[in-house]
Chain A
Amino acid sequence: MFDNNVSAPALIGTSGDSLREAFGKALAAIADEFPKLVVLDADVAGGTGVHHFRKAHPERLIQFGIAEQNMMAAAGGLAAVGMLPVVTGFAVFLSRAFEQARLSISYCKRNAKIVASHPGLDVGPDGGSAQALEDIAAFRAIPGMTVISPADPYETALATRAILEFEGPVYMRTGRSAARRLFGDDHVFEIGKGEIIRHGHDVTLVACGVEVARALDAADLLIDAGISARVVNMATIKPIDIELLARCARETGAIVTAEDHNIHGGLGSAVAEAVAKVHPCPIEFVGVNDTFGTSGEPDELADHFAITAPFIAKSAERAVARKRGLQ
């Protein structure tokens, strides 16, 4: 096994790619650099982007059938004997193997990666049962688990390499829908680092995943309201970049978080925990308000559940008003 005669696909992270496709292409392209890499699939390779990897490296794709619990714990065993396993699947189904990730991966400190596609409302028409809105909260609560949610196809490709080079368990969210390219070829991704991607001084919009593009749009909307909004791409939710948050809280005095996830336990909670400790300031939370999703197109759902740019902008206005009331 482990033939190295496959040429790397050229296009990675093209605009219009979904994050899952970008992940699958990147994985296929860089596999030769990681001789112990194996990818674990539960019969959803066509949906997770892993079909690109399977095509390039069929002998390194391990099929587990529709049995996520066994797959997750087996990844712990593969890592224990020196392999570099990447567990792939839909976010909502990998969550059913939460306890396997907890015990057989993180508690054992195994170098195994979990990459979940189909998170949040971004899943769309499959409906509420398929939309994982709790996964960041759940995996963030596991000691030793790094949690990542990249924002665009290019960053997803960079993050794919970063998690393979990183030693330790990682949970990474990709995404189902076509995504707009936000970052240029000079973009750098570093685990644990947030990045200011738009400057501003009245409020900081902290977002991850598909909400980063919406936060940028919200910053445009806020110009008309006379508010200068800073935008932070917080691609690593755990460990959160507390220094950057302290700086933004100090310099802008108000924060809005935005995520395609329940408002409880995800990015917003992680930001609030950090800011409360280092530089308390008004925070508003944009996310799904502790409810389940439903069927619809992703953009319709984002509007229906109030996580699009206008809602982020409204929250920013509230945060700024609260800040001024406090001052």
Chain B
Amino acid sequence: MTSAKITVRNGAIPADAPDTDIEVQIADAARFVRRHTIASIFRAGSGHPGGALSCADILACLFGAELNVWPSGTDERLRDRFVLSKGHACPALYAIGAYHGFCDKTAALALRKLGSPFQGHPHVRDLPWVETSTGSLGQGFSVALGMAMGMKLQKMPSRTYVVLGDGELQEGEVWEAAMCAAHHKLDNLCAIVDYNKLQSDASNDVIMRIEPLADKWRAFGWTVFEIDGHNIPEILSTLHLAASTHNHPSVLIAHTVKGKGVPYMENGPAWHGSVKLTRQQAEEALAALGADRQEIMELLDV
């Protein structure tokens, strides 16, 4: 898709900045997210890299140009809500939060450690900016729906965004929520499916087929967009289109690559689950993500 002029919704980047500048900034954030994900999972000795890497570009776009969220702001009426319903991908959420100043970059490397607020799945009482606790698939989507309803009831101008995994769509609760959001005409709710085609044990097709996916969402009353989930201009312009949808909730089915950016992880279901990265694997991954020796040392050792 050749996009029109990229629209920056949240004012994080000057609206008149050239598209190339916007792309460069968001690509930089996505690269930071991927490196940070690898480093924190290496340090933790466990964690889910595959699905964190696949949604890195989506998160970078959301936080970089779409979401009206800011680390210091507390205006409940204006603040958009973002929910990572696929909570196991939280290393990516912590990293994008760190990149934008919601938390300290070094502190966020202390993933899954006793006493650290960066738990193995996001917890809102440890980190208020994650908005709700997730980790039980399907629930984050329902919570996001409740937030969108509450915004409508209180006539808030804000919107709710939620990122779902593809395996997550096998939860019945997701379709309860999908039906409900369309019934209540929640056009302030935008779902993004990180469609990397793989889940814990194998491909979606082997475990439980979810296709025809776009037809399912359409049948449930949603406005559906299919995009390349690694194409930054396409993600941004589609988010913009979704935000101008009336009377229907919108979903972006974002085709992604599991483990994106780390060649030995790409499209490998073995990298979904909670894995222990060796030093060599971590270094190789960071090198593939463009980190030099000094940066690798800082990420893995400091």
Contacts and interface: CB of A to CB of B under 8 A. Distances in A.
Interface of A: 1, 38, 62, 64-65, 67, 69-70, 72-83, 85, 99-100, 103-104, 107-109
Contact of A83 (B139, B142, B150): B150
Interface of B is mostly: helix
Contacts of B134: 103
Given A80-B81, A80-B147, A81-B76, A74 B142 contact: yes
A87 to B, nearest CB: 11
Contact of A67 (B123, B132, B150, B176): B176
Main secondary structure of the interface of A (DSSP, over half): helix
A66 to B, nearest CB: 9
B149 interface: yes
Interface of B: 76, 81, 123-125, 131-136, 138-139, 142-151, 153-154, 156, 172-173, 176-177, 179-180, 183-184
Nearest to B178: A70
B133 A70 contact: no
Contacts of A38: 153
A78 B146 contact: yes
Contact of B133 (A65, A82, A103): A103
A78 B132 CA distance: 11
A103 B136 contact: yes
Nearest to B136: A103
B119 to A, nearest CB: 11
A65 B147 contact: no
A80 B131 contact: yes
B258 to A, nearest CB: 25
A77 B184 CA distance: 15
Given A65-B183, A99-B136, A81 B142 contact: no
A70 B147 contact: no
A1 B152 CA distance: 11
Contacts of A77: 132, 142-150
Contacts of A64: 176, 180
B125 A108 contact: yes
A106 B264 CA distance: 40
For the complex of A and B, list the 5 residue pairs with the smallest distance between their C-beta atoms, beginning with the closest: A77-B146, A73-B142, A74-B146, A81-B150, A70-B176
Contact of B179 (A65, A69, A82): A65
Give the interface centre of B76, B125, B144, B150 by most chain A CB atoms within 10 Å: B150
Given A77-B145, A80-B81, A104 B132 contact: yes
A5 B177 CA distance: 33
Contacts of B125: 107-109
A69 B180 contact: no
Nearest to A85: B146
A76 B132 contact: yes
Nearest to A66: B176
Given A69-B176, A74-B180, A85-B146, 7 more contacts: A1-B153, A62-B149, A69-B173, A74-B143, A77-B150, A78-B146, A81-B151
Contacts of A73: 138-139, 142-143, 146, 173, 177
A26 B176 CA distance: 30
B86 to A, nearest CB: 14
A76 B143 contact: yes
B175 to A, nearest CB: 9
Contact of A82 (B139, B154, B180, B183): B154
A72 B167 CA distance: 22
A69 B145 CA distance: 12
Contacts of A79: 146
A129 B153 CA distance: 36
B142 A78 contact: no
10 contacts: A69-B173, A70-B145, A73-B139, A77-B145, A79-B146, A81-B151, A83-B150, A85-B146, A107-B125, A107-B133
A78 B76 contact: no
B132 A108 contact: yes
A61 to B, nearest CB: 12
A100 B142 contact: yes
A81 B81 contact: yes
Contacts of B177: 70, 73-74
Nearest to B76: A82
